Amino acid sequence: MIKAGIVGGTGYTGVELLRILALHPETHIAVVTSRTDSGKRVDAVYPSLRGYCETEFTAPDLTALAACDVVFFATPHGTAMLSVGKLLACGVKVLDLSADFRLEDAAQWQRWYGLEHACPELLKEAVYGLPEINREAIRQARLVACPGCYPTAVQLGLLPLLEQGWVDNQNLIADVKSGVSGAGRKAELATLMSETGESFKAYAVAGHRHLPEIRQGLAKAAGMPVGLTFVPHLTPMIRGIHATLYAQLSAHAGNLQALYEDRYANEVFVDVLPEGDHADTRHVRGSNRCQIAVHRPQHGNTVVVLSVIDNLVKGASGQAVQAMNLMFGLAEDCGLKTVALYP
């Protein structure tokens, strides 16, 4: 059995990791850290896990974590980078769900996150954990930087077009909506029910922290820097990301539906919907699936791609477990064979 540790077990992504790993046939949850709930049983704090997880929350302790085979960091940015080097030196594999290792350029990271990076030498080693593009590298990795939720939906939606050079890659538009859980498990005025219910708004239009991550991934797919306008929105729902993506087709663009079906034919967690269908967040809720629909309105030069995921699963914890499976030579869908919740 794989001995797993979770640092930050009381946030939404941490609890989602607990939910998934509790039923994972090859994993034992050995350590779950929480300063606030240290000494309490996990299933006492989260009764949904009664009968599935008997582990107690403990204060963060590197010695205990070093005895694990793999450690997940479900922490705010700036936390994982303080401990990852020590864990790697002990032979522990690490999956970081925060942004600490997603950007390859330390100066870019400092610009967007406002901190000096504690271990910039590890940025080159960290493997970006999007299996649909980095599967083989993830298999060999010691350190995986799990993608953000917005970047996952946007990159999966645009990859086929950019890889084939079928669109103008200098004028991409990503209009993306997120459920409130994407803001994390904290008390903030902007995410109170009375503030988000019966409302819909854009935010961070001048620049969201996920923007450089998305650009970095799309530039690799295109083989050159891309121009991207990314506007995130907050919607009055708990889970879900809906990305509506726009691009201008090049003269040599071919059959869009066939392009997407061929690109993702062997991807267990990417589902290309039939031509004419519309992607809907409720059809992926609770699952590790990304559903994609591609449209060419009025047969014009604009392609519209709809990409939906559950931000806590394929956008975070599920994708991290998918990467862990690859790192340990397991079937990629091990512990992740879950049908979406409906309604």
**Catalytic residue list:** 149
> Nearest to residue 151, comparing CAs of 213, 204, 101, 93?
213
Instruction: Give kind and range of the element (H or E) at residue 307.
Output: strand 302-309
CA–CA separation, 151 and 170 (whole Å):
17
Using the 8-state DSSP alphabet, how is residue 314 labeled? I
Question: For residue 207, what are its two tokens?
Answer: 């620049």
Burial 78-107 (b: 16+ CB within 10 A, else e): bbbbebbeebbeeebbbbbbbbbbbbbebe
User: Where do runs of H (alpha helix) occur along the chain?
Assistant: 12-21, 42-45, 62-66, 84-89, 106-113, 131-139, 149-164, 193-196, 211-222, 256-263, 318-327
CA–CA separation, 289 and 129 (whole Å):
15
- Tokens 């980095």 — which residue? 134
Q: Is 39 helix (H, G, I), strand (E, B) or coil?
A: coil
Q: Specify burial of residue 252 (Cβ count, 10 A radius: 0-12, 13-18, 19+).
A: exposed
Using the 8-state DSSP alphabet, how is residue 247 labeled? E
Q: Is 165 helix (H, G, I), strand (E, B) or coil?
A: coil
